[in-house]
Amino acid sequence: MAMTATLQGALVKRKGKTILGPVTCDLLPEGITIVLGPNGAGKTTLLKVLHGVERLTEGTVRWNVSDEEAHTSQAYVFQSPIMLRRSVRQNLAYPLQLIRASKADIVRQTSHWAQRIGLADALDRPATRLSGGEKQKLALGRALIRKPKVLFLDEPCANLDGRATREIENVLQEAYRTGTRIIMTTHDLGQAKRLASDVIFLLKGQVHEQLPGSLFFDNPQTSEARAFLQGDIVE
């Protein structure tokens, strides 16, 4: 069953300052949702709220499955992923070990995913010695190896070169084609156009526009969104 979420009056405050909200919106059951907006708009906070790692001050986030299933069916890749001080192989194997997968399945899956993320020749290298792009690909493989229904990504290609960005986008598109719902932030408008099924445009912590990707980029509904797409400063 596809997972959908509804936010109702979701509000996050810190030290009296509103970081996000109130947000009321529904997430589509499939696709690649790109969350856009200027710095400080609340993009990362929205992802964390949906993932359940950011406490709401007010409002609710409800998935169409139990809390336990929502938790176990999701994965999150941070902008600066943390590598276990182990080999690439052991990093990939770790999520499967947590769910007590069989040794044979772990061997098969780690080999498969190392190939998919382009690290088949680096399985025995220490993960901490990988390049930035390689670490990001490893974090992505580690998240996808359990076949999550929903994957959250916070600026997965920040500071990466074009080749690494293309490789990560290829993995994401394949994950989407095989059934993973993707919700991600990015500052790269080119990447957003390449990947977006739909766009959530945040401004000052609120959903300013929520449209199919093609419509948002071709015909944004507000002057703020048009200015943002033109590269102007939006506050």
Q: Is residue 20 part of a domain?
A: yes
User: Are the C-beta atoms of residues 79 and 67 closer than 8 Å to each other?
Assistant: no
pLDDT at 163: 87
Report yes or no on 121 lying in a domain.
no
Query: What is the distance, to the nearest Å, from the Cα of residue 125 to the centroid of all Cα atoms in its chain?
Result: 26
Query: Is residue 170, in this structure, part of any structural domain at all?
Result: yes
Q: pLDDT at position 71, please? A: 87
List the domain range (segments joined by +) for residue 54.
Answer: 5-80+133-229
pTM value?
0.93
Structure tokens at 223: 């002057």
Q: Residue 49: give its domain's CATH number.
A: 3.40.50.300
pLDDT at 197: 97
Task: Name the residue among 54, 233, 29, 64 with its Cα closest to residue 154.
Answer: 54
In a domain, 64, yes or no: yes
Give me the pLDDT at residue 47, please: 97
- Report, in angstroms and rounded to the nearest whole number, the Rg of the chain calculated over CA atoms: 18
What is the domain count for the chain?
1
- CB neighbours of 35 closer than 8 A, spacing ≥ 6? 43, 46, 47, 183, 184, 185, 199, 200, 202
Tell me if 100 is assigned to some domain.
Answer: no
97 belongs to a structural domain? no
Q: What is the pLDDT of residue 212?
A: 97
Quick check: is 155 in a domain? yes
Domain annotation covers residue 167: yes
| Per-residue model confidence (pLDDT) at position 160 | 83
Q: Is 118 left (phi over 0), alpha (psi -120 to 50) or beta?
A: left
Q: What does pLDDT average to in each consecutive run of 10 residues of the chain (235 residues)?
A: 91 94 93 96 96 95 92 90 93 95 95 94 95 92 95 90 89 93 96 97 96 96 95 85
**How confident is the model at residue 95, as a pLDDT?**
95
- Which amino acid is it at 155? E
